[in-house]
Structure 1
Amino acid sequence: MTTRTSHPILNIPNILTMLRIAAIPLMAFLLLVPDKQAGFWAAAVFALASITDWLDGYLARRMGIVTVFGKFLDPIADKLIVMAALIMILPFGRVPAWMVLVVLGREIIITGLRGIASSEGIVIPASDLGKFKTIFQIVAILGLVLHYDYNWLFGIDNPLVHVNMHNVGMFYLWIATLLTIWSGVDYLVKFVRVIVR
């Protein structure tokens, strides 16, 4: 049940979503510098923003304050921060341009199809494929933003515990790209089936 308030936009879930959008310029600024320390802080900003993605949805359902504004803004915030991160690291050669194009193209196409379906009063629910795609994208971007070698067992100087985060990011980005294509095709098939009825 949706609770109506005198200021439906100003609720905790929507504020978290707006904070996620507000974090994008800070993350982009940090990514202007191809530096290990700046990359670490950019990854921290991205990680915190990703946590708010889960938290705002959870709170909206738990508090019964799901709003039209929130339904509109939340997916846009998700797409904006993912695309901002990928575009900002693109000039440094950390990510293949074609992968960024696939991710961006998929989001534009699916958003357009959702708009068409919505105008016809049709709701096509998000699939588990899309959720898995988002998880792998987040992990991939964290790895690509961190980029450098990190020793995750602090104080132990052993090559076996040094991890190249760029390689980790690329591994997950390949999976995310495959899921991006798969989930995009899956949504397109569902859209056609619903529309041609």
Structure 2
Amino acid sequence: MAIEFNLPTNITLLRIALIPLLTVVFYLPWQYSNIACTIIFIIAGFTDWLDGYLARKMQMETPFGAFLDPVADKLMVAMVLVILVQQQASPYLAVPAAVIIGREITIASLREWMAEIGQRAKVKVSLLAKWKTASQMISIGLLLYREDLLGIPVNSMGYVLLYIAAILTLWSMVNYLKAALIAISKE
């Protein structure tokens, strides 16, 4: 099977290319690096929506694109959480970041295993997981920006949303694991 590089897949690859760019900008000794990182992260989030929309609209969905899209998301989230934890070294940030990264590894592995036994549909993306992703992405954007804005404690709001994301992360992981166990027990 040949790998097809079409517009949606190239947009996904752009999202992956934004990861090292965001990382370099994050560490630049520049007073606006937080704003630039937040913009890069927002662009990456937009490409996540755009590649899926275009793939469906233009009927360009491919197995490679379906594989690459969640990989790009997980790479971006994991990398940004790691650099944020390094910058704001605190167990209050490290614990939810570890929960989120650990869940992503666990569920990706679970999906791969379920696909191998022909039960991939049992662990498809749920609405709860979409809420988890939304709170996670907003929290990361706020934590990247980190400065108060019009008297609003942006960094603190980022922490709160990150904890909400971590709770939703655990909840969705439990749901996926239960669905997998039910599917396996029926075999």
Q: In 1, are the aligned partners of 2:93 and 2:159 still within 8 Å (CA)?
A: no
Moved more, 11-20 or 165-174: 165-174
TM-score by length of 2: 0.92
Q: Deviations over 1:44-100 (max 9, x none)?
A: 000000011011111111111110100110000000101111101111226621111
Aligned length, in residue pairs:
181
Please say if 1:92 is aligned against 2:91: no
TM-superposed deviation, 1:119: 0.6
Deviation at residue 35 of structure 1 after TM alignment: 5.6
- The alpha-carbon deviation at position 164 of structure 1 amounts to 2.2
- Give the one of 115, 118, 129 matched to 1:118: 115
2: CA distance, partners of 1:36 / 1:165: 17
Distance 1:34 1:187 in 2: 42
Q: List runs of 5+ in structure 2 lacking aligned partners.
A: none
Q: In the alignment, is residue 81 of structure 1 matched against residue 76 of structure 2?
A: yes
CA RMSD of superposed structures (Å): 1.5
Give 1:9 deviation, angstroms: 2.0
2:147 aligned partner, one-letter code: Y
Partner of 1:193: 182
Does structure 1 residue 18 correspond to structure 2 residue 16?
A: no
Offset at residue 36 of structure 1 (A)? 4.6
The corresponding residue for 1:166 is 155
- Check 1:140–1:34 CA distance in 2 against 1; reply closer, same or farther (3 A cut): farther
SS in 2 for 1:142: helix
Q: In terms of Rg, which structure is larger?
A: 1
TM (norm. structure 1) is 0.87
- With over 3 angstroms needed to count, the CA separation of the structure-2 counterparts of 1:36 and 1:145, relative to structure 1, is farther
**More helix by proportion, 1 or 2?**
2
**Does the 8 A contact of 2:103 with 2:169 survive in 1?**
yes
Task: Output aligned runs, 1:5-154, within 5 Å.
Answer: 9-33=4-28, 36-93=31-88, 96-123=93-120, 124-150=123-149
Alpha carbons of 1:44 and 1:114: their partners in 2 closer, same or farther (altered >3 Å)?
A: same
Mind listing any 5+ residue stretches in structure 1 that lack a counterpart? 1-6, 151-160
For 1:173, what is the secondary structure of its paired residue?
helix
Deviation readout 1:117-147 (Å, 9 max, x if unpaired): 1011222221101111000011000000001
Mapped to 2, the partners of 1:19 and 1:55 lie a distance apart of 12
